[in-house]
């Protein structure tokens, strides 16, 4: 059952992104989707609205980019609760460290190892 929920909720988030690209008259690029979804997820999470979705859909809510914003926001909140004001700086970065470091490390290595197709 958790696979069905992950599929439907995760798929629905991608549909929202697709509709934003196709239906709005603004020139929405993948960059806007990336930034908007991460920021939007962080804001929803700060308002306490994202955790229920994570509880319901599991990876369907954590794998899409708003889940990344959720981790950042919850990290900052927990950081403040345990370390005070310093935690607002460290909490989000610490909570998302594995994902960000993995993306930069694997991203760098892949770009060094592989040559683009057209070359």
Partner 1 sequence: MTDEKLIPSDRELQEMQYQMMVTSAKPKPPLLRNVLGAFVIGGAICVFGQALLNFFKSSGLAKPEAGAATSAVLVFLAALLTGLGVYDSIAKYAGAGTIVPITGFANSIVAPAMEFRQEGMVFGVGQRIFTLAGPVLAFGFVTAWLIGLITYLFK
Q: Which of residues 7-26 bind partner 1 (CB under 8 A)?
A: 7-23
DSSP 49: -
The reply to whether 59 sits near partner 1 by the rule CB under 8 A is yes
CA distance 73 to 94: 11
Contact mark string toward partner 1, 71..110, x via CB under 8 A: xxx-xxx-xxx--xx-xxx-xxx-xx-xxx-xxx-xxxxx
Shortest Cβ 8–partner 1 spacing (Å)? 7
Is residue 48 involved in binding partner 1 (CB under 8 A)?
Answer: no
For residues 68 and 96, the answer to whether their CB atoms sit within 8 Å is: yes
Any contact of residue 3 with partner 1 (CB under 8 A)? yes
């Amino acid at each position: 059952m958790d696979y069905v929920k992950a599929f439907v909720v995760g798929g629905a988030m991608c549909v929202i992104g697709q509709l934003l690209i196709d239906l709005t008259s603004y020139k929405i690029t993948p960059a806007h989707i990336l930034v908007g979804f991460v920021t939007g997820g962080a804001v929803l999470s700060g308002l306490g609205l994202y955790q229920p979705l994570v509880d319901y859909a599991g990876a369907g809510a954590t794998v899409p980019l708003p889940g990344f914003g959720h981790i950042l926001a919850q990290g900052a909140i927990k950081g403040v609760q345990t370390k005070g004001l310093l935690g607002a700086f460290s909490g989000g970065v610490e909570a998302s460290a594995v994902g960000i470091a993995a993306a930069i490390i694997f991203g760098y290595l892949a770009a060094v190892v592989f040559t683009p197709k057209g070359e």
